[in-house]
Amino acid sequence: MNDVFNPKLQRRTLLKTAAAGSAVAYAGLAFNPLTGEAAPLVAKDLNGSVGEPAVRQDGGLKVSGQARYAIEHAIEGMLYGVAVQSTIPAGRITAIDTQAASNAPGVVAIYTHLNPLAINPATPFIKGGAATENFTPLQDDVVRWNGQHIALVVAQTFEQATEAANLVKVSYAATPAIIDPDDSRAKAQPIDDLQARWGDAPAALASAAVRVEGVYTTPREYNVPMEPHACIAHWQNEKLTVYESSQWVGGARNVIAQWMGLEMGSVRVVSPFVGGGFGCKVAPHPHVAMACSAARLLGRPLKVALTRAQTFTSYGGRPRTGQRLALGATREGMLVSVVHDGWNETAIDDTHLEPSTSVTALMYATPNMLARHSIIPVNTVNPGWMRAPGENISTYALETGMDELAVKLDLDPIELRLRNWAAQDPKANIPWTSRRLREAYAAGANAFGWSERNPKPRSMRQGRELIGWGMAAGTYPVWRTPGEAKIVIHRDGRIEVLSAGTDLGTGTYTILAQTAAEVLDVPTRSVKVSLGDTDLPRAPIAGGSQLANNLTGAVYAAAKLARSELIRVATRDPKSPLHGMVAANLVFKNGRIKPSQRPGKGISFGDLLAALGKERFEISADTFKAGATEADRHAAAHGFSQMQLPTTGGVSAHSWGAHFVEVRVDEDFGTIRVKRMVAAFDSGRVYNPKLAESQWMGGMIMGIGQALFEEGHIDRRDGRVVNASFADYVVPVNADVPEIITIDVGLPDLQASALGGKAVGELGIVGVAAAIGNAVYHATGKRIRDLPFTLDKLLA
C-alpha cells in the first residue's frame, strides 16, 4: 500500500502526462511540471511563499483583541435594537400592545406590522439573487414559525431595548401548525433538477444477488459560530454602511440594496473579521433588514444583535433530513443498482435545498442509478447552509450503506470501494481532473493500521470497552467564481494586497500574503492584506469552499503583473538606476530588483519608486476570461450567475478524502467516545499546510459533533427550539476531541484551479458521521441509522 502513496512517483507520472502534451495549461504557473521544479511546494527559505506553513496573519490581532468584529464598531449617536419573536408556530397576530414598552426608559421607537418598516423583498439565490430566504419581517400579521421576528424595539442602550422588548404583549389567533416532516399533512415536493437517473435501478435492485437497504435520518443542526449575528446600520445621506459579520460582502450588498430599494453603489458592507459562520453568514438575515430600515427612519446609526437563543430561529441551520437508500450488488461486490430517495424539511413558504443526491451518483460506478430528492415544507425558519450542505448528508447515507454492503458480502470496506471505483465522473461521463482517492485510502489505512483490524463486530475490546474501527470516503466539489485583486507597493516599502473577499478564520489573509510574497520575493509578514469591504476589489463568496482557489489566482495574476510592470519601468524610465538594462537579466530577490549576473544589491521597490518620483505603484488583475464585461464582473461579486460548475470544461473537479476512526463504546452505559481519527485528503495543491490541516481538522471535529451530539430538539407541541443555547445544544469540547492525524495526498491540479488547489474548507466534515457510525457498528454489532448516535439508541 505504501508505494501507492509516493509523491515523487506521482510527480513523475504527472511529468509524463505533461510531456505527452496533455490538455493542462502550464503557462505562467509557479509549479513547473516539465522540469519537476515545484518551487512553491518546497520551502525556499522562511521568507514564506505558497505551500509553506506560515502562521495566521490575523492571529495576533485576534488574541490581543485588536481584530474588530461587526458588533464592536462604535459610532457616535448609535441606538440599539432588540428583536421580539413570535411564541407560536402558525397563525395571525391579533393585537400587539406596545404601551408599556413605549413608556419604558430610553425607548425611542417600536416597529411592528402595524407601523411596519419599509423593506422590499430580496431575490433568493435559487431565483438568481443572493438572499437565503424569502421572508421580509414585519410586513404582515402572519406567523410562519415559532421564533419569527414580529417587532423591533429601539432604545438608547441595549439593556433598555431588552427590557422594553420583554414588555411587548402579543395576542395571536393560532392555526394548526405542521411541526414535523412526518406529519401526515406535510407534503413532499420533488425537486426534479436534483435527480440522477440511468439504467433501470428498481428492476436491477429487485434482481440483485445481494441487497442492503436502510432509512437514514438526521436532525436539525445549527451552525452556532462563536460570534453570534450582529450588525450596525449607518446612513450618511442616502449612502448606507453596514458593519455585518459576513462570508460575502458583495452578496450582502446586493441583498441589502434590494431590501432598501437602493443602487448597489449606495451600499457599503464591512466585514474584516468573522468569528465563524460555517454557512450561516453567506447572506444577511432578516434582522439586518430591520436594522437598516429603522436606522433610515430614525436618522441614527443602529446596532441590532441577536441573542444566542435568537440565532436558533432568526435563520436556518441544517434541516432535518431523511433518506431511503438501497444498494444492489453481485456476490463479488460489484454494484448493480443504487436507489436513493431523500428529503429535507424547508420553511412553510420558502425553499431550502439540502440535496441528498449530491454524492450518490458521483462516488461509484454502477450500471443503474435512481437518486431523487424532495423538500417538505413545515412551520420552521427557513433552514440554511451548514458545512457541506448536501454532500454531508448524502455521504452519511451512501457511506453507511457501503459499509452495510461490505458486511453482508464479508468484504473489507476499502476493497468494496476499490471494486466499484469510478474511473470517471459516472453522472457527467467526463474524466476527473484528479482523483487521488486510492492514495487517500492507502495512506489513511497505513497510518491508522487498518490491516490489524479484525472485521468481526464485537471482536476487539479492552476491559469494559468495545473497540470499533470504521472508515468512510468523502468528497467536495470544486466551484469557481472569478474575482479581482489589487496590489499596492508604497514608496516607504509597504506592500498591500486588497480584496473584498473575507476570512472566516480560514486563512484568507495569510494565503494571499503568501501568494504575493512568493511572486515578489519578499517575506510573507511584510505583505499587508486588507479584506472584507465592498470598497475593495470585487470578490466572490467564501462559501462552497472556493475562495482560496479563486483569490490566490487573482493575487497571483496581480503579483505577476506587478513584477513585469516594475521591471518594465525600471529598465525603460531614464530616472531609474536600472535604466537600459535587459529586462530578462533582472531578478527579484528579498524585496529588491537586481541584475542576475552582476554583483550588487540592486534596488528596493521603495527606492525605485523614489527614483521615479512616484508615491505608489498600483496594479490590479483578476481571473476573468478575456472579454468579460463589466456586467460579468459585477455579477460575479454580487450573485451566483458567474459561478462555474465542477464539470465546466469537460472535466469534473472534486476534492476527495478517506476517514478512519476508532471508537470506544462502554458496554454498560452505551457511551461512545472517538479515540482517534486519521484522514487523508486530496485537495490538490495545498497553499498552506498548517491552515489546511486546521481546516480539515475543524471539519472532522464538527463531524464528531454531528455524529455524537448535535441535535436541535423541536417541541412537537409548539415548534419551539427547546435547546436554543450553548449549554443545551451540545458541540464537541476539547475533552471530546481525540488525537487527529491528517495526511495530504494531493498534487497540484491545474485543471481545477489557477494555482492547482482544490476545495478544503468543507471537505473535512464529509464522511465523518458515516465513519463513526461504521466504527460503532464494528464495536457493537448494532447499526444506528439516525444521527446523532446517542446512548439511548445504542441501548434500545
Binding site for ligand MOS (CB under 6 A): 247, 279, 282, 385-387, 389, 543-544, 762
Choice between 518 and 762, CB closer to ligand MCN:
762
Q: Is residue 688 part of the contact set for ligand MCN (CB under 6 A)?
A: yes
* Interacting positions 689-708 with ligand MCN (CB under 6 A): 691-692, 695, 698
E strands in 100-144: 107-111, 142-143
Judged by beta carbon distances under 5 to 8 A according to partner kind, the member of ligand MOS, ligand MCN, none in contact with residue 548 is: ligand MCN
Least distance from C-beta 711 to ligand MOS, angstroms? 19
Least distance from C-beta 248 to ligand MOS, angstroms? 9
Which of 242, 260, 283, 511 contacts ligand MCN by CB under 6 A?
Answer: 511
DSSP 8-class letter at 757:
B
Catalytic residues: 762
With CA atoms as reference, report the closest residue to 275 among 218, 227, 322, 335.
227
Which of 442, 643, 653, 686 contacts ligand MCN by CB under 6 A?
Answer: 686
Cα–Cα distances in angstroms (integers) from residue 356 to residues 324, 417, 518, 741, in the given order: 10, 20, 41, 28
The residue count for binding ligand MCN (CB under 6 A) is: 36
Judged by beta carbon distances under 5 to 8 A according to partner kind, the member of ligand MCN, ligand MOS, none in contact with residue 511 is: ligand MCN
Peptide bond connecting 301 to the previous residue in cis, omega within 30 degrees of 0: no
Cα–Cα distances in angstroms (integers) from residue 516 to residues 29, 519, 738, in the given order: 13, 5, 36
Least distance from C-beta 387 to ligand MOS, angstroms? 5
With CA atoms as reference, report the closest residue to 487 among 564, 585, 573, 594.
564
7-42 core/surface letters (b: 16 or more CB in 10 A; e: else)? eeebbeebeeebeeeeebeeeebbbebeeeebebbe
- What CA–CA distance (Å, rounded) separates 766 from 773? 13
Least distance from C-beta 646 to ligand MCN, angstroms? 13
Q: Which amino acid is at 492?
A: D
Which of 539, 760, 770, 787 contacts ligand MCN by CB under 6 A?
Answer: 760
Judged by beta carbon distances under 5 to 8 A according to partner kind, the member of ligand MOS, ligand MCN, none in contact with residue 757 is: ligand MCN
Residue with cell 476539547: 734
Cα–Cα distances in angstroms (integers) from residue 431 to residues 20, 363, 415, 657, in the given order: 17, 13, 22, 18
Q: Is residue 683 part of the contact set for ligand MCN (CB under 6 A)?
A: yes
Residue with cell 459576513: 246
Judged by beta carbon distances under 5 to 8 A according to partner kind, the member of ligand MCN, ligand MOS, none in contact with residue 546 is: ligand MCN
Q: Is residue 687 part of the contact set for ligand MCN (CB under 6 A)?
A: yes
Judged by beta carbon distances under 5 to 8 A according to partner kind, the member of ligand MCN, ligand MOS, none in contact with residue 389 is: ligand MOS
- What CA–CA distance (Å, rounded) separates 753 from 485? 16
Asked if 763 and 474 count as a contact pair (C-beta separation under 8 A), the reply is yes
Choice between 5 and 385, CB closer to ligand MOS:
385
Q: Is residue 477 part of the contact set for ligand MCN (CB under 6 A)?
A: no
Q: What would you report as the CA-atom Rg of the chain, rounded to the nearest whole angstrom?
A: 28
Least distance from C-beta 738 to ligand MCN, angstroms? 20
**476, containing H or E segment:** strand 465-477
Judged by beta carbon distances under 5 to 8 A according to partner kind, the member of ligand MOS, ligand MCN, none in contact with residue 692 is: ligand MCN
Instruction: Tell me which stretch binds ligand MCN (CB under 6 A): 191-199, 445-453, 609-617, 678-686.
Output: 678-686
Judged by beta carbon distances under 5 to 8 A according to partner kind, the member of ligand MOS, ligand MCN, none in contact with residue 48 is: none
Q: Give the HSE-up count for residue 216: Cα atoms under 13 Å, Cβ half-sphere.
A: 26
Q: Is residue 757 part of the contact set for ligand MCN (CB under 6 A)?
A: yes
E strands in 78-188: 79-85, 91-97, 107-111, 142-143, 149-155, 169-174
Least distance from C-beta 702 to ligand MOS, angstroms? 11
Instruction: Tell me which stretch binds ligand MCN (CB under 6 A): 78-86, 92-100, 271-279, 731-739.
Output: 271-279
Interface with ligand MCN (CB under 6 A): 225, 276-279, 387, 504-508, 511, 542-549, 683-688, 691-692, 695, 698, 757-762
